[in-house]
């Protein structure tokens, strides 16, 4: 069986800059990836096709796809795209981009104007996709305080329940990061399966593997197949005929050139040719189907039973980074069954027995070196220290600020504590360390981490000083700036005493 897994994620960008890093990143991904991919999946669902892929959507991205400010900004962005198409001097480019912008506007106004939840829920309810959840704000879980890690995961799964009417039993752990013992937390939260990178299973990804004695299954990404599409050095998107991501018309921002060659300067790139790109798509569809078929045969022969191949990618690769990606993906999802290859979700693989012997999974991620260096290395030592300090101050303040719950009296909701947690989770998002380690808008990433860390510490400090009214005022002000996850409730953060007691019992 073949399983395709897509991981959809962007950090919280609303009201935190526009360009070159900020909301523009969200709107480009929305227009380039989320609109065409959901439209494509809807077409396939209308044909009665089910269990096409496992679709991970992080809570922080889902929040933006439902946010009124982001929805309004996206509508303006699509209109501006149409205007930029009018301004293009090249007639062919102008016509092509105007047609694309008009189609995107129609899709957005018809299906998205009230948020993304309705669009995604339709795909889930029709069984076109399996929904994968995850923790709030995309943290690097192995480095988290266990109490906060547990809270973040359960809140993230509850957020999915509220948006889509289903609580995911599978997750894409942020950065595919894992530390021994997390499988028990997954089991407690009702998670039955999760993704890791291939090397975490020592390259043996032909079956899912229960982790130790938890019963929670780890599925590994098959690198030999996944890297045909996207790898650090090669892959289909680099083909000469495809539209070049990095080259654009400076007057309009529209992308008018093809890759042409990996060493060709932007000024020397050839004009984009849709017909040549279409021919390359067909070629790469056939190549991918052949690669999957060969890998399934090899692995089935090796293990002496039907094997599983899992290919996993960032959703934003398809359309945003690789313009032709959505077209390629639709053709692949049609071509695989036509070639006699069974496709299904990770949940299908688990329930249909594509599971082998338990594994003693060790520390891993899907980052450089497949270890934790991107998020815990020397280059981001300052952020690791900042995160530890912020979390410690936040949990200490919340523990001191919780109202009495004894004597039959319920603990009342405390919006101050809620905001401390909200800002803390935003501060420790894995995106900031990733962007610094990869030198991708590192200044913006550090600024974002420090903004949220300052907010958390400012509120926590007022609490610690016994300044309850001041803390509540600060919490309200920061919430007006970033009020995502309105259902986040600090009362569901386990007290230190109860967590330690249960830990000792276990």
Helix/strand/coil for 13: coil
Report how far residue 431's alpha carbon sits from residue 404's, in angstroms, rounded to the nearest whole number. Answer: 37
The answer to whether the Cα torsion of 302, 360, 499, 483 is positive or negative is negative
Instruction: Identify whether 20 is preceded by a cis peptide bond (ω within 30 of 0).
Output: yes
Report how far residue 6's alpha carbon sits from residue 134's, in angstroms, rounded to the nearest whole number. Answer: 13
Active site includes 24? Answer: no
Provide the 8-state DSSP code for 478: H
Task: For residue 17, give every residue at least 6 positions away whose Cβ sits within 8 Å of its Cβ, in sequence order, or none.
Answer: 23, 444
Instruction: Give the HSE-up count for residue 467: Cα atoms under 13 Å, Cβ half-sphere.
Output: 11
Of 276, 257, 278, 253, the residue nearest 266 (C-alpha): 257
Report how far residue 116's alpha carbon sits from residue 93's, in angstroms, rounded to the nearest whole number. Answer: 30
Place of tokens 């030999």: 224
Report how far residue 431's alpha carbon sits from residue 418's, in angstroms, rounded to the nearest whole number. Answer: 22
- Element holding 62 (H helix, E strand): helix 59-66
Active site includes 489? Answer: no
Strands in 193-196's sheet, in edge-to-edge order, are: 209-210, 217-220, 193-196, 170-171, 129-133, 53-57, 2-8, 309-314
- Which entry of 175, 222, 347, 418 is annotated as an active-site residue? 175
- Which entry of 314, 371, 461, 489 is annotated as an active-site residue? 314
Q: First and final CA of the chain: distance in angstroms?
A: 37
* Catalytic machinery residues: 175, 314
């Amino acid at each position: 069986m073949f399983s395709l897994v897509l991981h959809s994620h962007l950090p919280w960008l609303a009201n935190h800059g526009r360009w070159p890093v900020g909301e523009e990143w969200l709107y480009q991904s929305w227009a380039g990836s989320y609109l065409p991919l959901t439209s494509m999946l809807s077409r396939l669902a209308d044909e009665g096709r089910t269990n096409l892929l496992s679709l991970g959507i992080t809570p922080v991205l889902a929040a933006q796809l439902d946010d009124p400010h982001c929805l309004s900004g996206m509508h303006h962005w699509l209109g501006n795209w149409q205007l930029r198409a009018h301004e293009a001097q090249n007639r062919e480019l102008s016509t092509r981009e105007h047609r694309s912008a008009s189609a995107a506007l129609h899709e957005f106004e018809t299906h998205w104007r009230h948020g993304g939840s309705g669009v995604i829920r339709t795909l889930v309810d029709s069984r076109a996709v399996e929904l994968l959840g995850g923790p709030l704000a995309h943290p690097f879980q192995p480095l988290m305080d266990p109490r906060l890690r547990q809270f973040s995961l359960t809140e993230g799964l509850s957020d999915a329940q509220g948006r889509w009417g289903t609580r995911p039993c599978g997750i894409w752990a942020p950065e595919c990061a894992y530390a021994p013992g997390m499988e028990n937390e997954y089991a407690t939260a009702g998670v039955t399966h999760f993704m890791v990178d291939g090397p975490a299973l020592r390259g043996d990804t032909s079956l899912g593997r229960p982790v130790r004695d938890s019963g929670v299954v780890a599925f590994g990404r098959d690198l030999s197949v996944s890297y045909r599409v996207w790898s650090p050095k090669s892959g289909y998107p680099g083909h000469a005929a495809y539209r070049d991501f990095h080259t654009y018309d400076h007057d309009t921002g529209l992308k008018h050139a093809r890759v042409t060659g990996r060493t060709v300067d932007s000024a020397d790139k050839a004009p984009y040719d849709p017909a040549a790109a279409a021919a390359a798509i067909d070629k790469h569809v056939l190549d991918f189907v052949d690669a999957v078929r060969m890998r399934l045969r090899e692995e089935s022969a090796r293990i002496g039973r039907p094997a599983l191949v899992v290919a996993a990618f960032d959703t934003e690769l398809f359309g945003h980074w690789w313009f032709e990606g959505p077209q390629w993906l639709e053709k692949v999802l049609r071509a695989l069954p036509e070639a006699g290859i069974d496709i299904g979700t990770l949940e299908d693989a688990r329930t249909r027995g594509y599971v082998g012997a338990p594994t003693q999974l060790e520390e891993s991620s899907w980052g450089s070196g497949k270890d934790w260096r991107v998020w815990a290395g020397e280059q981001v030592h300052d952020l690791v220290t900042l995160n530890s300090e912020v979390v410690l101050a936040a949990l200490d303040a919340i523990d001191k600020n919780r109202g009495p719950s004894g004597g039959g009296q319920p603990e009342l909701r405390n919006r101050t504590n809620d905001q401390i947690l909200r800002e803390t989770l935003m501060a420790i998002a894995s995106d900031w360390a990733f962007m610094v380690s990869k030198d991708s808008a590192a200044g913006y990433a550090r600024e974002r981490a420090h903004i949220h860390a300052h907010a958390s510490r400012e509120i926590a400090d007022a609490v610690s000083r016994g300044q309850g009214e001041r803390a509540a005022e600060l919490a309200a002000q920061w919430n007006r700036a970033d009020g995502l996850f309105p259902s986040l409730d600090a009362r569901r953060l386990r007290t230190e005493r109860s967590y330690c007691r249960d830990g000792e019992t276990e």
